[in-house]
Structure 1
């Protein structure tokens, strides 16, 4: 009733053998590459000293493998993570510089980004003048497609697309997001609206993500939100184990039944 845990039994004996004091430095929880160690390893790498030689030098400095505080694999992993962080930061600067140059050549080009608590790139949205013209002409139906972290930056990629009068796909805008929360999707939709002169779509197609649905209801309360038939069909294939049932279900989606005929098929 007080929402607290109560200890009812204590078993003092371990169900597994404990490590010896000589082995404890090799436990994952006790292996830490400090910033000073990383700085020393980076400096020695710039002096063309191999990482394995750097590790042996650190071992000698500390007086043995038990005192160094980490294994050579931990040092390799830390150096690799540090190098990737530098590369990503460099890619961010290059991307923003490229988009700034595009804006200088295209007066209707639009780009907006946000930063996280560590002042690193969080969300990034952009679209060009062609996307604006296409959206004004064909933006009554908006397809909101999110590709889950299939890029090297581990960020969700969102594409705003539609269809023109030739039934060809047209791009309305692109975004890289820091996560897939309601707050992030709301920021994205509001940014998209600002870039498109506040023209609201009549209908929106999505894959059914819950956070995305809430953001759409908040930003586009008057728009019709529908699920993409391709995602619905794929989910049916993944979850229905009866092939005939899958075929009948897909027929209800794709075939042009009259209303009473559809109701009969659905039942």
Structure 2
């Protein structure tokens, strides 16, 4: 037990000058919703933090007047979309970070949530709205929205809350990989919410840091850029990378560069050599995914216009996806060979992914294959998404005429969003209500696919209503009870391990 012996009012050190930020805390924010009975009980989800708020700044990057506008918007969306999810973080009675995802985003995550991008670039670019997004890659290699957040501040607790809330909204589906900034708070939050996940640093942020820490050398010595890129992107083994890295530091006298030292220690999160074997949905390691909202959002976008532009950008992206779905179902790419394997992949893959495969197939003819051993029946090669030219060359050598189904990743096919493929309930910890909402979106997508397939001719369009009515009348659910929950595949990592049995050779 401690006993106060005496108390001296005067400070025994110089006081820090008041920060400008401390002067600008809005009084409306301090008093916002102190009388929470006025509306917080109507929130979709309210969470308080675990007591760590005593260590956090009381200031929020989200203006106090924004919450009323956002909650009004969220509640109106819930009326239209039963799968709409939102949550507000409470800290000592005050609203802080906000998260939301509509039914379509939650359904998309069940198909394309295996590799995600946690994009906080708007937050880092002095935008009026501290906006962050969860982005996936769909079966057309387009960005697809998996949830949004407004983040109150830069501390670990805020990022942890956002990541946990996204995880809960997606019924506990664990991604295989995540691309995000290398900020300490973000790294710690990711490690806490997704232990064991492979966190790859954002290429956009790395390039910005390169300009900041190596800009002078990059601008005056083209040789440094060549050696730097060669070390990072062409090293094939850890020993080769270490040797090239040390040679780089010695040649350009950079051993004392603190940033390079830090990046070497974190090399497993950004150097391609160390990222092999992890699925990133085809997002290049030296690039990124194109901006989801493009130029619709800028640094001067105020809140009400933000909501309007958000809706506009979301609809634009989803219309692009619908158009690509239609094109992949109704158009055929030109075949460059007479190989059965090319026809097989044209039939299965979307147009965009088929073109990626087709390039690998054509490039395989430029490689020379040589048999070096007949022992064993398998070889492990990582290709990421579609089979690479090297594996296709092996297929040609051993006369495999089509690709075994285990090497066709379902998420890249025309039917990625459709069909009874797997059991979502066994893959997630979500509530039955959450699962039902996502399955409703699944049924909507199935119906759109059915209608799109029938729109090829006037005769088919005329037949569709009768076919739908007949199917409903013969269904055991024709008594208008709730439709069954449609199981959805949970995409799992597929490595390109070739096992060549006699049954595979045709």
Deviations 1:102-140 (A, max 9, x none): 0111111110002333x4421100011111122111111
User: Please, what TM-score do these two structures have when normalized by structure 1?
Assistant: 0.59
| 2:157 matched residue in structure 1 | 183
What is the alpha-carbon root mean square deviation over aligned residues? 2.5
Deviates more, 1:244-253 or 1:164-173: 244-253
Q: Does 1:193 align with 2:167?
A: yes
Is contact 2:177–2:199 with CA below 8 Å preserved after alignment?
yes
| 2:97 matched residue in structure 1 | 123
| 1:16 matched residue in structure 2 | none
Number of residues paired by the alignment? 177
Match runs of 1:35-114 below 5 Å: 88-114=63-89
Q: Does 1:172 align with 2:146?
A: yes
| 1:209 matched residue in structure 2 | 183
Deviates more, 1:228-237 or 1:167-176: 228-237
Q: Give 1:165 deviation, angstroms.
A: 2.4
User: Please, what TM-score do these two structures have when normalized by structure 2?
Assistant: 0.32
Q: Quick one: which of 213, 220, 225 aligns to 1:239?
A: 213
Secondary structure of the 2:72 match is helix
Q: Give 1:164 deviation, angstroms.
A: 1.7
The whole-number CA distance in structure 2 between the counterparts of 1:206 and 1:213 is 8
User: Relative to structure 1, is the Cα distance of residues 135 and 252 closer, same or farther in structure 2, using a 3 angstrom cutoff?
Assistant: farther
Deviations 1:43-79 (A, max 9, x none): xxxxxxxxxxxxxxxxxxxxxxxxxxxxxxxxxxxxx
| 1:151 matched residue in structure 2 | 127
Q: Give 1:222 deviation, angstroms.
A: 2.2
* Structure 2 residues not aligned, in runs of 5+: 1-26, 28-62, 248-506
Q: 4+ residue stretches of structure 1 with deviation over 6 A?
A: 260-264
Is contact 2:89–2:161 with CA below 8 Å preserved after alignment?
no
* Structure 1 residues not aligned, in runs of 5+: 1-34, 36-87
Q: Does 1:142 align with 2:121?
A: no
User: Relative to structure 1, is the Cα distance of residues 93 and 215 closer, same or farther in structure 2, using a 3 angstrom cutoff?
Assistant: same
Secondary structure of the 1:184 match is helix
Deviates more, 1:176-185 or 1:256-265: 256-265
The whole-number CA distance in structure 2 between the counterparts of 1:201 and 1:190 is 13
The whole-number CA distance in structure 2 between the counterparts of 1:126 and 1:264 is 47
Deviations 1:161-209 (A, max 9, x none): 1222222111111111111211111111111110001001111111101
